[in-house]
A and B are shown apart, each in its own frame.
Chain A
């Protein structure tokens, strides 16, 4: 089995219809540093662009024939990735060192994430890197208001690529940036319109990159600090449109625990929470002060699925408290905090078995 450091990173590129996924992908692939990237695309929509890409990538591209990756052909995704890996191993295709998966515009990226973590063969050879969501600065607000898929794509993202800022005014750009910052405060926003951006910022700097993961966690935490006075999506209006119920129910907050956490009690609590409320816990990301662990432990997950925990060699700042950023639908911060504290307390008197 490949170790965590030698597994092939996978980047999921998502974004609503017409938000510039393929354009972004083409720009990323033009970078010499991403020359050894294999790409899985879906033929749904934007056929012309996708075909250009197909020709460009030749054998490294596998086209998924079904319409939608997420809902109907997760097994096709498994088959495609396994096939890609086996051709790589047999030398039939060049030894790619990264895989990019472009979703359809209407896709919920979560099932793709699940597929990569759940399949026993794939998860031993691949690991998930950053999920990137493209948001169109012109039509993004409308997509977020009217399409739950667009909202989900933003919430699941580790990076948000803001596109088409060159064809809208500064005020519109500032408004969409503020809104995205409130929705997913831990995902950096990168303007990609002019092509003047560093692909590393989108793709390679992730939680499993030993050189950059501390920086990544620091970024989450600064996003969490911005939540000190949490302004949820509720009550905001955009472009004169009322916020629909879907977006008004979603908000982000940071749960803080002063005392070191017992890892076992924490694991029981989070699995219990996700079993009952996983549909409403859209993202969870945190740095934990785990009792008897030598270094801070980092967790992150999407809905029911938690990635394998990782650690930092040192704390990113002077604060030694556990801090967990939640993006939730209809859940209350104070209740979560009380619940975690109560369940953590079970370990204090639970040393009889340890």
Chain B
């Protein structure tokens, strides 16, 4: 826990590569932990924009998710991101939805 802000350390998640050098090599698939988080935020935002949401890193230990009305929530990792995104967007976030696939194809 951080003594200043009282934040508990982030939970491990299977998608964290930089902390898993045994699997992804010393370079964590080419990125430091910080770079990895920024990359995750950048890609996440391309998807979340489709739902009117925005993601940002919070002190390297969690993420903040905001909607257009200004409501914001802290999420510790990706597994917690999607249920919260559906709550804030008030719609299912479905990667198999043809409209979402088409939007992602255009964004890429």
Contact = CB atoms under 8 A, between A and B. Distances in A.
B is bound to A: yes
B62 to A, nearest CB: 15
Interface stretch (A16-24, A131-139, A213-221, A334-342): A334-342
A276 B29 contact: no
B39 A335 contact: no
Contact of B108 (A306, A346, A354): A346
Interface in A284-311: 290-295, 297, 299, 306-311
A267 B20 CA distance: 14
Q: Give the dominant DSSP class at B's interface.
A: helix
Given A306-B14, A308-B14, A349-B108, A292 B30 contact: yes
A291 B92 contact: no
B38 A353 contact: yes
Contacts of A269: 95
A277 interface: yes
Contacts of A267: 14-15, 40, 78
Contacts of B100: 339
Contacts of B31: 264, 292, 354
A308 B79 CA distance: 14
Given A268-B47, A354-B31, A308 B20 contact: yes
A275 B83 contact: yes
Interface residues of B, number: 42
A264 B55 CA distance: 15
Given A264-B39, A275-B83, A276-B82, A297 B47 contact: no
Contacts of B20: 308-309
Contacts of B44: 268
A195 B61 CA distance: 52
B7 interface: no
Contacts of A306: 14
B108 A273 contact: no
Nearest to A117: B14
Contacts of B15: 263-264, 267-268, 271
A78 interface: no
A331 B30 CA distance: 33
Interface string B18-38: 001011110101110001101
Interface in A213-231: none
B43 interface: yes
A13 to B, nearest CB: 25
Given A338-B101, A346-B47, A350-B46, A290 B29 contact: yes
Interface of B: 14-15, 17, 20, 22-25, 27, 29-31, 35-36, 38-44, 46-47, 78-79, 81-83, 86, 92-96, 98, 100-102, 104-105, 107-108
27 contacts: A262-B43, A264-B31, A265-B43, A268-B43, A268-B78, A271-B15, A272-B93, A273-B95, A277-B96, A292-B29, A293-B23, A293-B24, A295-B25, A307-B14, A311-B24, A335-B98, A342-B102, A342-B104, A342-B105, A343-B47, A343-B104, A345-B105, A345-B108, A349-B107, A350-B42, A352-B42, A353-B35
Question: Closest 9 CB pairs between A and B?
Answer: A345-B108, A267-B15, A292-B30, A275-B82, A353-B42, A342-B104, A353-B38, A294-B25, A271-B78
Given A277-B96, A347-B43, 4 more contacts: A4-B22, A268-B43, A271-B81, A346-B104
